Each structure stands twice: as structure tokens, then as C-alpha cells.
Structure 1
Amino acid sequence: MSTDFIPQVQNRQQDAEFKTAMHGKDVTNKTGFLSAISKNVDAQQVAVSEYFKHWDNKDTKHETEQDKQTRLAEYATLTKHYYNLVTDFYEYGWGTSFHFSRFYKGEPFKASIARHEQYLAYQGGIKKGMKVLDVGCGVGGPAQQIARFTEAHITGLNNNDYQVERATEYAKKAGLSDYLNFVKGDFMQMDFPNETFDAVYAIEATVHAPKLEGVYGEIYRVLKPGGTFAVYEWVMTDKYDETIPLHREISYGIEIGDGIPKMYKVDVARDALKTVGFEILHEEDLAAKGDEVPWYYPLSGEWKYCRSVGDLVTIFRTSWLGRQVTMKSIGLLESLKLAPPGSQKVTVALEDAAVNLVLGAKMELFTPMMLFVAKKPL
């Protein structure tokens, strides 16, 4: 990894104004598909342009070292615009918890998602009354589940104003405002004082960092001595070899469709934790447990694993067939000027990511659930 990383300067007023321009003043009056096609045309074009400039007219054979460094340098803007573009599609297909999970045979989709979140809370030692930080909290689905499970007080950190506002409103509707608080901020340069939190967790979020030592170092700083950091990390496995063209194409496809400046191997994450001072208590790739029901089955559309009507709806939306229906529908609406320009381009990128996530999983090159539990020494 590059060692000359410099955090981006934040302009919070500008970000807030852009959120209002793109999504409107009331960001929770619409959800899912309807919200995805209701964005302001001009703002949508800006977001599409700013995001895809990092990949347009490039591929694994023609990307330069400068292309890679630019993505790393502009990590905050890249991630911010990614979630301005895809949050509604995520909610439409996945609900309010934007992550994968293990599945037990006969287990409903939502139960698996909840168990995955509860397991992380258990591994991280999160207990009643603790002050906890959720790094990269999305729209707050995991924070809600963990707050109910533990009765801890959770602060969600997110650099996307749209998601922060939605998370806050969802917590209010769930009756959890006394336990949950969501704030705008960059996880590479947090505003919290040293030793603020009893525990910290992150679910598939720190992959957006340009330098893992940067985000892990900030987590270490704001964590109290003796506190625990538990994370589900997206990484390429030890079987990944960037010099093999197919391997790099899979990694590149994941990066494009998931707003990631650079995918790293598992040893990079492990070494980064140690470098900033953490003591690793436990590590385990939960995707390599030999489960009868694979974690990627919602993307592959293996209907035999569905256990409820709700599962059927969710798996249809996330499956190859459902994604094709969504892409074609969005394309038609865009051609009729009923959806803002660039909407179909976003769905194509999401489709490319899904294909590469499944391929990477089947080749055992990628995992979205490399569990690390680390402690800040006393």
C-alpha cells in the first residue's frame, strides 16, 4: 500500500447542500425503487460523472498507476457519490442492512442477517450501557439490531448525508432514538476525542478506506484502553494473485460496482491491525466454513434455499433474473425521461459487481466476512 496517504479535506456544508439538491428536503418520504428514480436530474448527472470518472474508458489492461493513486486519494468523494447513487437500490434489494451473512439450512434471510450482526456484537463483547461506535453505519440497520440485542448506546459514523438522515429517521420510527445516534464524518479523520468508546465495530465498511492503517489507526485512537474492535472485512484471500489477469478482473469488477478504491488481501488487513497497535484476539474467515447454503446464494438466485414469501421477494430482487428486470426497467424509464440520466449505468455497475462477487467466492479468491476481533492493550 502507498505510505503517503493524505486525508481529503471535508466540506460539510457543500455535502449537505448536494444531498438536498439530489434527494430533496425530506429524504424518507420515498424508499427503494421509487426513490431511486426520483432524484434531481442535474445532481444525479454530477454524482454519476464524479463517480464513474475513476473507471470510464479504463479496464484492467489499461488502468495506470496514476489511475489507482487517484482513486485512493479521492476515496471520500468516490464513496460519498457511490452511496448517493446506490443506497436506494440497496434498500430495494437488501433492506436496511447492507451486508452479507452466513446461512443455516432452513433459516430465513432476515434471520440470517440479524444473527450475523448479533454474532459480531457477541464477539466484540458489546454489553448493556456501553458506548459503542459503528464505523460506516449505512442507514442503520445493523445498529438497530445490535442496540436491541445488547442495549448498548451506539453512535453510527457515515460520510454520506443521505444515509445519515435516513438512519436517524429509521431509528426514530423504531423507537430506538435513546440508544442510537448517527453523525456525519470521515473514518480516516474522526472528530471524536481520544478514548471515547468502550467498543467499536464495522460491518463491510472499512473496505472503502484507501489505507487500512488510516482507518484502523483512528479506531484505535478513539477506543478506550482494553476496548475491543470487531470487524467483518472485505478482502481478497491468500489464493488471490494480482498478476493473474482473471484474478485482477474479478477484483476490479468488485471495485467498480461497490465503490472501493482498492481491494486488498487478508494479510494487508492483519498487518495493518498490528501496525497501529491492536492485539488480534481472534480471526476467522466465516465464508470458508463449508456451509451447505453459501453466503452468496441471494446473488446467485438459488431458489431452493428460500424459506418464506419474504425470502422469495428478496432473492428475486437480488438474483440474476431480478437484477436483469431492474436494469431493463430502469433503462426503459430513463429512455422515457421518467428516471434521471445515468440510472441504468449505476445498475449495470451493480450487476457487474454481483457477477464478480459470486465468481470470486466460487474461486475462493474473495470473502466479505473475514472476522477480526482485536483489543487495544491496557
Structure 2
Amino acid sequence: MALITLRQLLDHAAEHGYGVPAFNINNMEQGLAIVQAAAAVDAPVILQASRGARSYAGDIMLRHMVQALAEMYPAVPICLHQDHGNNEATCYSAIRHGFTSVMMDGSLEEDMKTPASYDYNVDITRRVTVAAHAVGASVEGELGILGSLETGEAAAEDGSGAEGKLSQDQLLTDPDQAVDFVMRTRCDALAIACGTSHGAYKFTRKPDGEILAMGTIAAIHDKLPDTHLVMHGSSSVPQHLQDLINASGGEMPQTWGVPVEEIEKGIAMGVRKVNIDTDCRMAMTGQFRRLAQEKPDEFDPRKFLIPAMKELETLCRDRFERFGTAGHAAAIKVVGMDEMAARYAAGALDPKITANKAA
């Protein structure tokens, strides 16, 4: 099956009321485990690569790896997505290398550390959207800055993370501004800030309404019912994986992620894409550590990677099932990027606002 664009996939998810996990990948083993899980439960999937992953594996390797996965599992619609693009060049080079979707993160300046102005965000996201839509690729924008409502700080992951103290206004996306942003940029999906953050150390306690503002999602969806919302920093940091790592020589402090049941609530409120990276890292690392401790004489990397892949596959299957993604792959008829470009040009995919919602 040809790769699918983010817009087409999320349109289907919205029509049928499910969310799609977006798993970060860096290598073949991660890709295999994730897509095997998708095939097992008949789910579409988003594979996304950060700038760090593109530097680590190389664009040509990533492109051919994902194309190989699509050939091996033709029944699985796969979207290849650039995560946290920092400028136009990053996004355009991803599209040239076969990515069907890009995120232009204009919430931060090009250094991915300095909070950007609203006008900067609108301008650069709009420029990327115009260029991407001309060739049929999708665009995800971001409004608001990912960070902790407990500390007012952001964690860095793969080079993306604001520095310094952030205000509540920066950490929570404003619903009215979200309407203006979507209409001016024409982006296909909107990543919003609601208290989630990158990395494993998101919360010092199980999150509640004070530190995870799920009501922000509901308020934005109320004003933009036809816009696909995205939750970044949404790894749940499972306790059993923390325990596995620490029982095998690790030293992870106790931490809490975004509970899966909260993500399920978000999906009911219009979230269609859910970013997951830390959980995948923990699943594989936990098995690496376990095997190294149990069999200190082992040196065959395959003996480490096979159980690590199985742990990751189990994690991914759970997310496909919990998010409602399972059972939908076979119903999706992939539209090529040329056709998507024609639909954009004809205005068929322009953002819409329900009149009484925008008032």
C-alpha cells in the first residue's frame, strides 16, 4: 500500500471517532515492532521521525525502511511524518525524501528553545502549508508551548524544548486564538498545549485538573469541531516499565505520565493524533537491561533486540486498541498525493468553522 497522508488518515479517524498513535522511530527494529502490532489489529499508524532521528538514521535509510514496511505489510496504511520541524528547510527536505506529512513547530524559534511570537508562528506555518499542500503533503502546526503546569518549565527531547520559565498563557492554548491560527495558516492538524510535556518526567504525582488541563481540549474542539487536534508529550510512562528498568539496574526516579484514560477522554473531545516516544524507549530499554543482567555473557545483539521488539509490539497493540484505532485499516482507501494536491487546490480541504461555535 502506498503511504497515506496525515490529512486523509485523520479525516477517517474523525469520521469514525478514533485516535491514531504517532510513534517516533529511529531504526528498523522499532519500525518492525510498531507495524507488526498495527497489522495484528488491523490499524493504520503514524511513524514519525524527529530531526534527531533523521540525523541518526539518515533520510534515505528512513525513507527506504518505511517503504519496505509498507511493502511487507500492504494492508497497513502508514503515514510518514516529520516531528517538530524547526524551519521551512527542515520541512521541505522531509517532503523531498518521501515524508507525506510535516509538523512546522512555529511555537518556538528556529533554535527550538526560544518562545516565538504569535505572528512569527502564523507566518512560517502558513508558508510551509502553502508549499506542502501544493504537492499534496499535510501540515501539523502548534499553538502554545509544551511544558509543565507544575513547574512552568519545558523538558527538551531531540533538541526541542523551550528554555526558561513559561507563563500559564504560554502553556495553555487559547481557544479563540486557535480559531484565528487555523483559519490563517490552513494547517491540517493543530497540536495544542494542555500541560503535557516531552520526556519521562512530566508530573510529580498522578495528574489531575490542576496540572493536566483536559478542559482546554474541550474548549478548542467546541470552537473548531472540524479541526484535528494533536496531543504531544503523551507517553503514559507505564509503572511496570519503570519497575522493569529499575529492577534491572536502572535508576529512574518515580514519575507519572499522561494516563491512557485521560488520552481516551481527549479522543472523545476531538484529539486525533497522539504522540508517543518515551514509552517506546522504555519498553525496549527495559528488555535490554533485563537481558544484560540475567545473561551477562551474552553478546549477540539479536538476543537483546528480539525481546525488546516484543515488548514494544505489546505496548503498541495496547495503544491501538485503547485509542479505537484497531479494526479500521482495511476500510481506508489510500488517496495519492497528486489527488490530495488537487483537492487542496480546489479548496475542498479548507478549514471550516461552525458559525455558532466561532461566535
TMscore range, shorter length? 0.3 to 0.5
TM (norm. structure 2) is 0.33
What TM-score does the superposition give when structure 1 sets the normalisation length?
0.32
